[in-house]
């Protein structure tokens, strides 16, 4: 009679990273289900509850209070669905930042940006991030038609959208996803600060400190982008052992590719700085315009100055194609539109 021998092999142990990875994949799939639901008429009504804010009330315009209709909101049970969806979005963003910015030491150890290149195999979250980025910027092309963009602004917007697609697709196809992720997070953080400052400015015209902080971080962001790019292509990848073009392994670390990518990044940063300097000079000229001499002139000049400031701040990135897609129809602030209607 055969006697079974007990196996000395220990059962596989699931690591903490493996468990977190699977949970993040499940969360990402759940968020994608809600987004896909918006694309079909049958499920769109249910998906909208999770994605958009509910319980809105439109207050018609009156001569005494406001010249524009106002949309206000109250709370209800459907808010739980919206909170659930954006909780999933927050988990995905946190997982990406935690795993690829904090845990992998991109800040304290910049060599992780080019170490073990090519980064042909990427986790679900990073692939999902790049897919969303490419999908968003591709969708911006038909949006130019739906938003009825003026003809003189179409070319500028196409160039702006094309720059985003060119750099994001380049990082994705050339397996430079680590560097691309860091540069995108850095760029979007500066954009986020600009839009927050813009909201504060529209609520209170005296609030200018946000734009001053944004201006400093904008310049630092361009400088840090150049430093990380030069370190990656001029120092890290240039000293790698494997510098042969290989499509099967996704290795594009050759001199021609490194020079081309670095040149495109440098030219883009220089273009953004040139537009930024022109914007600051135009703003300074508006600020130092002729001062009024009478009380009546002072009132008219102050009103014109405020409206000009609003137009300059709100249309800066429409004209320069640097930060955020803004249509010509929505370039002016709510206060400017109110002045025009009156």
In terms of pLDDT, which residue wins out, 230 or 147? 230
Give the pLDDT mean for 265-286: 90
20-22-24-25 Cα dihedral, nearest 10 degrees:
160
Percent of the chain with pLDDT over 70: 71
Instruction: Find the distance separating the first CA and the last CA of the chain, reported in whole Å.
Output: 101
Location of structure tokens 């319980």: 55
pLDDT tens digits, one per residue of 58-88: 888 776 665 677 778 889 999 998 898 888 8
For residue 293, the model assigns a pLDDT of: 47
Model confidence at 14, pLDDT cuts 50, 70, 90, reads very low
Percent of the chain with pLDDT over 90: 26
Q: Is the pLDDT of residue 261 over 70?
A: yes
Per-domain residue ranges of the chain: 13-60+69-102
Q: Model pTM greater than 0.85?
A: no
Over the chain, what is the mean pLDDT?
77
The pair of structure tokens assigned to 327 is: 């249509």
Neighbours of 172 (CB within 10 A): 19
Neighbours of 145 (CB within 10 A): 9
Question: Picking from 95-99, 141-145, 249-253, 309-313, which range would have the lowest pLDDT averaged per residue?
Answer: 309-313
Q: Which of 165, 163, 224 is nearest to 189 (CA)?
A: 224
Give the pLDDT mean for 189-214: 80
Model confidence at 217, pLDDT cuts 50, 70, 90, reads very high
For residue 20, the model assigns a pLDDT of: 52
Q: Phi then psi for 221, rounded to 5 degrees?
A: -65, -40
What are the contacts of 179-183 at 24+ separation with CB within 8 A? 179/113, 179/114, 179/228, 179/229, 179/232, 180/130, 181/96, 181/100, 181/101, 181/126, 181/129, 182/100, 182/101, 182/106, 182/113, 182/228, 183/225, 183/228, 183/229
Q: Which of 80, 75, 76, 29 is nearest to 50 (CA)?
A: 80
Model confidence at 17, pLDDT cuts 50, 70, 90, reads low
Location of structure tokens 């459907």: 78
Q: Are 315 and 185 in contact (CB under 8 A)?
A: no
Q: Please give the C-alpha separations between residue 88 and each of 31, 32, 189, in angstroms, as whole numbers.
A: 6, 10, 20
């Amino acid at each position: 009679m055969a006697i079974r021998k007990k196996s000395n092999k220990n059962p596989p142990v699931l690591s903490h990273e493996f468990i977190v990875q699977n949970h993040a994949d499940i969360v990402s799939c759940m968020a994608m289900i809600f987004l896909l639901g918006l694309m079909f008429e049958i499920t769109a009504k249910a998906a909208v509850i999770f994605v958009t804010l509910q319980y809105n009330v439109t207050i018609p315009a009156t001569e005494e209070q406001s010249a524009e209709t106002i949309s206000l909101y109250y709370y209800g049970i459907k808010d739980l669905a919206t909170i659930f969806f954006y909780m999933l979005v927050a988990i995905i963003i946190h997982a990406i930042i935690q795993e690829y910015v904090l845990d992998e030491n991109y800040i304290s150890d910049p060599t992780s940006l080019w170490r073990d290149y090519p980064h042909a195999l990427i986790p679900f979250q990073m692939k999902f991030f790049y897919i969303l980025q490419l999908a968003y910027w591709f969708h911006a092309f038909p949006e130019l038609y739906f938003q009825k963009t003026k003809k003189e602004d179409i070319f500028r917007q196409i160039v702006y959208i094309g720059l985003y697609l060119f750099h994001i697709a380049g990082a994705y196809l050339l397996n430079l996803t680590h560097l691309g992720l860091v540069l995108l997070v850095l760029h979007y953080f500066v954009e986020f600060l600009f839009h927050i400052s813009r909201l504060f400015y529209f609520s209170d015209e005296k609030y200018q400190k946000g734009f001053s902080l944004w201006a400093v971080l904008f310049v630092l962001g361009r400088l840090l982008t150049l430093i990380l790019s030069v370190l990656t292509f001029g120092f890290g990848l240039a000293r790698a052992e494997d510098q042969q073009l290989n499509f099967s392994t996704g290795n594009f670390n050759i001199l021609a590719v490194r020079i081309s990518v670095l040149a495109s990044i440098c030219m883009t940063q220089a273009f953004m700085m040139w537009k930024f300097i022109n914007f600051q000079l135009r703003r300074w000229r508006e600020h130092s315009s002729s001062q009024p001499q009478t009380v009546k002139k002072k009132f008219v000049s102050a009103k014109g100055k405020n409206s000009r400031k609003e137009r300059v701040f709100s249309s800066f990135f429409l004209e320069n194609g640097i930060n955020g897609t803004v249509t010509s129809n929505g370039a002016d602030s709510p206060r400017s539109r109110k002045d025009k209607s009156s």
